[in-house]
Structure 1
Amino acid sequence: MKLSDYARQAGVSYKTAWRWWKAGVLTGYQLPSGTIVIDSQPEQTRPLNREVCQASDSTAARLAGFETKLEALQASLHQAAIERSHLLAELEAAKRDRAELLTLVQQLLRDLQSLNFPAPARWPSEVGMDYTHLEMLLADGKWREADEYTWLLLLAITQQETAGCLGLEDVAGFPQTDLQTIDRLWVDFSGGLFGLSIQLEIFASVEYAYPEFCDRVGWRVRQKWLYYDELNFSLNAPAGHLPVCVWRKRSCYGVGFVSAADSAIAFANRLLNN
């Protein structure tokens, strides 16, 4: 007997009969087509008491609750899948944007390099001289090494390394920018104690009298002209004590065929741009 026929004969709804069958109250089988066939007759299989009916209804209610929860879970999983798909799409878009931005930055760097801007010189030079080493020596307070290196710079700039001395024409033609750079390095790192411009001020104050100038800067002490090794290579030295550009062995000798006094006048004139 079909379940629908059983429900009609038993005087119950098809839904109630279906719940009884699902709860095992009714015996039967289900055809491949989906039709449910009941073995029992209505009068034989109909629940005999209220407890059995209530039990079947309770079981059916639980099943319906499980189905509702399952449907809610499936809906949540479906929504999560949709959100995951959106997030993956946004991630792919972000990757594309990042790749495009990286490409633009690389192109910008190549464009900037192609412009070939010259690096600004911290210490300018008319002849391309690099003053980094002198800067390092002065910054470290290595005053003697800095003075000896300054002398080598003067020879290199005037191309007098072989001769080892400067003529008056070398000083007169010395690049003005480089002379100012050397002076500024000494002045800056000594806190205004040393430098060619400091020496010029002192030289002018004694009306360019070389002996009196040497007394003031500490190159002559109690009428004694100092040798190079006797100089004070520290910040305790008198103002203008360094650098030594007009003599090398002794303060009264000068260098080469030029006296120290004449060299001092030549440097003073060059600093004054004369």
Structure 2
Amino acid sequence: MIDSNTQSIRETASDEIAALRQQLFCEPEKKQLTLLDKLASFGDEGLSAIAEFLQASDRNSPTPALGKAELLLLAADTPQTRTFLETHFPDGIVPLHSEQNIDCSPIARALREQDFLNADRLTLEKLCELVGPSAIQRKWLFFSEVEKIPIADLRAIDSLWRVYSEGKFGYSVQREIWLAQGKDFGKLWSKIGWKTDKNWTRYPNEFIWNVSAPRGHLPLSNQLRGVRVIAKLFDHPAWSVD
């Protein structure tokens, strides 16, 4: 039999989960990220509320909060969470639209595993693939090639980075910071942790490959060849599309 004290604790936990669940559906995204962690700490009942939140989402507009919900269910790795994700989100929550039929699922997998170093490498590979054979062979982009990247593909890659980093990473995030710094690249490098004083952050060991990094820290762009590639990325029409 369950004693009265245990029953009271369970009822209190259920009441708290119900309150957190209600908040989760109406609070701003920053608050949602915190609420998700709290719900996950309650075990199966909290995970069930997270799954409900994820299932009720707009699948055409994934957000960092939804990305965190998916990551928490993946991390839990229970029979229930595995079945739920395999049934409803077998390919993850971010639609991978491509105008050139480029497969970005390897980036998605790396980001779902929070393997940001590998995701960064794969991102450059896919951008080169989108541009063409010459870029694939040399393994980096000319600034003049950036305009060849289709809008849908760049937005999909950016969405993957934002959704699976709690909104901290992605080209659109870097662009937002750059605009806030008056389009001053020198200020941007310091703000996102690519340069300290006069010293460039060294690849790969000095970069931070997790979400504790400064906002906009990832993905990387090789500044040894100047700013023209990243400037073209920031000027890409993908960011002006509704």
Which category describes the TM-score, using the shorter chain as reference length?
A: 0.5 to 0.7
Instruction: Tell me the equivalent position of 2:166.
Output: 191
Corresponding residue of 1:237 = 213
Match among 99, 108, 130 for residue 157 of structure 1: 130
Q: Counterparts of 1:181 and 1:272 in 2: how far apart (Å)? A: 12
**Aligned mate of 1:253, from 201, 224, 229:** 224
Paired residue for 1:143, among 116, 126, 147? 116
CA radius of gyration, larger in: 1
Report the Cα distance in structure 2 between the residues aligned to 1:201 and 1:188, rounded to whole angstroms.
Answer: 16
Residue by residue over 1:148-177, the C-alpha shift from the partner in whole angstroms, topping out at 9 and shown as x without a partner, is 111111111111111222112210221111
Match in the other structure for 1:175: 150
Aligned residues: 144
Q: Structure 1-normalised TM-score?
A: 0.50
Corresponding residue for 1:7? none
Q: CA deviation at 1:187?
A: 0.3
TM-score, normalization: structure 2? 0.57
**Greater relative contact order: 1 or 2 (C-alpha under 8 angstroms, separation 6 or more)?**
2
Aligned ranges 1:117-136 → 2 under 5 Å:
122-136=95-109
For the pair 1:269 / 2:241, whether they are aligned, the reply is no
SS of residue matched to 1:179: helix
CA distance in 2, matches of 1:134, 1:272: 20
For 1:30-78, what per-residue CA distance to the aligned partner results, in whole angstroms no more than 9, with x for missing partners?
Answer: xxxxxxxxxxxxxxxxxxxxxxxxxxxxxxxxxxxxxxxxxxxxxxxxx
Matches within 5 A, 1:13-28: none
Amino acid at match of 2:224: Y
Aligned partners of 2:159 and 2:170 also within 8 Å: yes
Offset of 1:264 from its aligned partner?
1.8
**3-state DSSP of counterpart to 1:228:** coil
For residues 106 and 141 of structure 2, what CA distance do their matches in structure 1 show?
22
Q: 1:200 aligns with which of 175, 196, 220?
A: 175
The ranges of structure 1 where at least 4 consecutive aligned residues each deviate by more than 3 angstroms after the TM superposition are: 271-274
Q: CA RMSD in A?
A: 1.7
Could you tell me how far apart the structure 1 residues matched to 2:141 and 2:240 are? 18
Offset, 1:273: 4.9
Runs of 5+ in structure 2 lacking a partner? Answer: 1-93
1:33-52 aligned at under 5 Å gives the runs none
